[in-house]
């Protein structure tokens, strides 16, 4: 079978270079064009020696015929790059936030730009396969979820959908520094981020509306109140989110066994979500496409607590994007994504 041709926009960012790395061994897809802004004209291997075997040159725009484009651009710039491709009939997975939110008014509020194609927000499919698998298969445009929202939504989806918790959820998330991207900034400077942990986005992080949107849909369109506090921690990759919600009166009377069964049934057959018997660590997902979930019932406070973790660049970005591509083209969902986590 001929491989499909893949283009990556902004291959020189962390999400873009991770896409290239993961796609290198994909059995049904071949990266044929990679675009980047400041590195245009250079060999991919000059910028990223670990990708030298791909023998590709970075161009200013995607070149040649492609079957699918991944955009790993910053928000706003991504929509501008993606819209002409959609007009040409190319299928797209956008890793930025530009098509994740259904309400156009959310863009000026959270991302400080007016959305250039509000109609595309209706047709774009939120690329969380565990919730939208059927729709992703047919989509021309898939909006790949954010890294924090993937860890948060997967953690609370079974409980919210089953109506066993009050619609008031707290997500306490920790992310490695690559979550902030490859561009240099003072906060991600080694001396600032190393040996330190800090909270940020306390007045409302950009991933909040995405989490609220999806949990509200799962709650049969009834609003869910969400407190989401991200933290930066001194490691390269990984997100660990601890989620808290109070169990409704009369629910979960079967205790931890009922809870475990609820989560196991919800994710039965899912190749990239595993309900674990012990609290997972980010190291268990380092470099692979898994999201690990550990739900527990705190019977003293009657709170559901769920620990979830994933690799922000894989299940939180490039790996999930490839999972979506696999669905869009009818490939086995796990194609190219079978790698185990790197250890130690």
Binding residues for ligand NAP (CB under 6 A): 10, 12-16, 36-38, 72-75, 77-78, 95-97, 146-147, 178-179, 181-183, 312-313, 316-317
Which residues carry out catalysis? 147
Q: Strand 58-59 vs strand 68-71: parallel, antiparallel, or unpaired? A: unpaired
Query: Which of 76/247 has CB closer to ligand NAP?
Result: 76
Residue 129 CB, nearest approach to ligand NAP (Å): 15
Sorted by sequence, the CB contacts under 8 Å of residue 277 that are 6+ apart come out as 294
Nearer to ligand NAP, 147 or 322 (CB): 147
Q: How many CB atoms lie within 10 A of CB 302?
A: 14
C-beta of residue 228 within 8 angstroms of C-beta of residue 174: no
CB of 299 to ligand NAP, least distance (A): 36
Among residues 155 and 245, whose Cβ is nearest to ligand NAP?
Answer: 155
Q: What is the largest CA-CA distance in the chain?
A: 64
Residue (14 or 267) nearer to ligand NAP, CB: 14
What order of strands is seen across the sheet that includes strand 291-298? 198-199, 225-232, 165-175, 239-247, 303-310, 291-298, 273-275
What are the distances in angstroms from CA 260 to CA 115, 169, 252? 41, 19, 10
Query: Helix 129-138 crosses helix 319-328 at what angle (to 10 degrees)?
Result: 40
**Rounded least distance, CB 69 to ligand NAP, Å:** 14
Structure tokens at 1: 């079978």
Smallest CA-to-CA distance from 151 within 168, 123, 132, 172 is with 172
Nearer to ligand NAP, 149 or 336 (CB): 149
> Which residue's CB atom is positioned nearest to ligand NAP?
181
Cβ of residue 11: shortest distance to ligand NAP, in angstroms? 10
Residue of 269, 307, 178 whose CA lies nearest to 232: 178
Q: To the nearest whole angstrom, how small is the minimum distance from the Cβ of residue 138 to ligand NAP?
A: 23
Burial of 64: CB neighbours in 10 Å, binned 0-12, 13-18, 19+ = exposed
């Amino acid at each position: 079978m001929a491989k499909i041709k893949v283009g990556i926009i902004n291959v020189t960012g962390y999400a873009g270079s991770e896409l290239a790395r993961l796609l290198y061994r994909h059995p049904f897809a071949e990266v044929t064009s990679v675009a980047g802004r400041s590195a245009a004209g250079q060999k991919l291997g000059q910028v990223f020696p670990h990708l030298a075997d791909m023998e590709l040159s970075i161009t200013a725009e995607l070149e040649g015929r492609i079957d699918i484009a991944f955009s790993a651009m910053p928000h706003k710039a991504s929509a501008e790059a993606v819209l002409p491709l959609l007009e040409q009939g190319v299928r797209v997975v956008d890793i930025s936030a530009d098509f994740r939110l259904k309400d156009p008014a959310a863009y000026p509020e959270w991302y400080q730009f007016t959305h250039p194609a509000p109609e595309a927000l209706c047709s774009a499919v939120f690329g969380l396969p565990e919730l939208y698998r059927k729709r992703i298969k047919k989509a021309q445009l898939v909006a790949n979820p954010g890294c924090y929202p993937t860890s948060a939504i997967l953690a609370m989806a079974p409980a919210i959908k089953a109506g066993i918790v009050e619609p008031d959820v707290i997500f306490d998330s920790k992310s490695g520094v690559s979550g902030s991207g490859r561009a240099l900034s003072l906060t991600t400077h080694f001396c600032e981020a190393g040996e330190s942990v800090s909270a940020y986005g306390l007045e409302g992080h950009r991933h909040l509306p995405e989490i609220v949107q999806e949990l509200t849909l799962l709650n049969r369109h009834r609003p869910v109140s969400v407190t989401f506090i991200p933290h930066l921690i001194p490691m390269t990759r990984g997100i660990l989110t601890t989620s808290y919600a109070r169990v409704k009166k009369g629910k979960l009377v079967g205790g931890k066994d009922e809870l475990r069964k609820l989560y196991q049934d919800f994710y039965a057959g899912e190749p990239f979500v595993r309900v674990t018997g012990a609290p997972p660590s980010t190291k268990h997902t380092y470099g692979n496409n898994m999201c690990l979930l550990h739900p527990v019932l705190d019977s003293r406070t009657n709170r559901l607590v769920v620990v979830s973790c994933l690799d922000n660049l894989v299940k939180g970005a490039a790996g999930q994007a490839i999972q979506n591509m696999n669905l869009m083209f009818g490939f086995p969902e796990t194609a190219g994504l079978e790698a185990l986590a790197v250890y130690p």
